[in-house]
Amino acid sequence: QVRLQESGPGLVKPSETLSLICTVSGASIKSSSHYWGWIRQSPGKGLEWIGTVYTDGRNHYNPSLTSRVTISGDMSKNHFSLNLTSATAADTGVYFCARHSPDFWTGTPGYMDVWGKGTTVIVSS
């Protein structure tokens, strides 16, 4: 059974970088033909898709965040990470990691078939 677990600081200061890790068990991010990505939920904006990284390192990002976000995989540790620079209060929320199945027709990130439980991040001084 594939499981995902988010981890990282629960409190980040404004202007600093928000960094989270998603540890994967029951599957290899190196060999699995899936995208691995992040979604967040904030009171003001509901669920917001942040982006993904593929097995070969390719990324897809939300255009609204692309200037600040990096998602990358560490094959040796079987985890992937999220870095969001210049954090503000608007980045406060619950962050979920999720496995995305490649869409059959386009090959791009499709539906999310496995999720983590989420981790809360507050951006505040």
Q: Which residues make beta-bridge pairs with 70? A: 83
- Which residue reads 């507050």 in tokens? 122
Q: 5: buried, middle or exposed (CB in 10 Å: 19+, 13-18, 0-12)?
A: middle
Question: Toward another protein, which CB reaches closer, 73 or 109?
Answer: 109
- Check residue 120 for interaction with another protein (CB under 8 A): no
Site string for another protein, 29-68 (x = CB under 8 A): ----------x------xxxx----------x-xxx----
Residues 106, 104: Cα–Cα separation, whole Å: 6
- Check residue 80 for interaction with another protein (CB under 8 A): no
Q: Give me the residues that bind another protein (CB under 8 A), please.
A: 4, 39, 46-49, 60, 62-64, 96, 98, 101, 103-105, 108-118
